[in-house]
């Protein structure tokens, strides 16, 4: 499982920033009116939350595997509340780019939701196959 975990960590730490940089490039080059200076914060935020999710899954898979789904859903709920809070905070504090910030954040939220669900599914399949072998 160590090679599998290493592969997931590398894919997480490479894929998230690459997607963030690519989307930033597309917005900056092709839609410069919609680019805002806080754009790099959004992919960084989701990368950090993805790492926290992965560390939490590793912790629960080793210490308390029967509660791993509860932990996953709890992290998903916290991520949702933090994201909504960040959007509301930005909208109330900013005079411009509210629409762009909100749309970009929601787009990244759903994209990373899909990716993290895929990673979680692979993680669980690997964990279950390891338990069956033992």
Structure confidence by residue, pLDDT tens digits, 19-56: 999 999 999 999 999 888 889 999 999 989 888 888 88
Residue 20 to residue 105: CA distance in whole angstroms: 11
Q: In 3D, which of 7, 3, 1 has the Cα closest to residue 124? A: 1
Domains identified in the chain, total number? 1
* Per-residue model confidence as pLDDT tens digits over 101-115: 999 999 999 998 998
Instruction: State the residue range of the domain holding 47.
Output: 2-133
């Amino acid at each position: 499982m160590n090679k599998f975990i290493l592969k997931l960590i590398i894919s997480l730490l490479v894929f998230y920033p690459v997607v963030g940089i690519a989307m930033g490039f597309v917005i900056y080059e092709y839609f410069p009116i919609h680019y805002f200076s806080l754009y790099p914060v959004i992919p960084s935020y989701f990368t950090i939350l993805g790492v926290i999710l992965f560390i939490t899954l590793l912790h629960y898979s080793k210490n308390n595997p029967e509660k791993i789904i509860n932990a996953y859903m709890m992290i998903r709920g916290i991520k949702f509340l933090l994201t909504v809070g960040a959007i509301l905070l930005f909208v109330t504090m900013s005079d411009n780019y509210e629409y762009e910030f909100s749309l970009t954040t929601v787009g990244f939220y759903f994209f990373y939701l899909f990716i993290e669900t895929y990673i979680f599914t692979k993680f669980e399949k690997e964990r279950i196959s390891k338990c069956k072998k033992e």
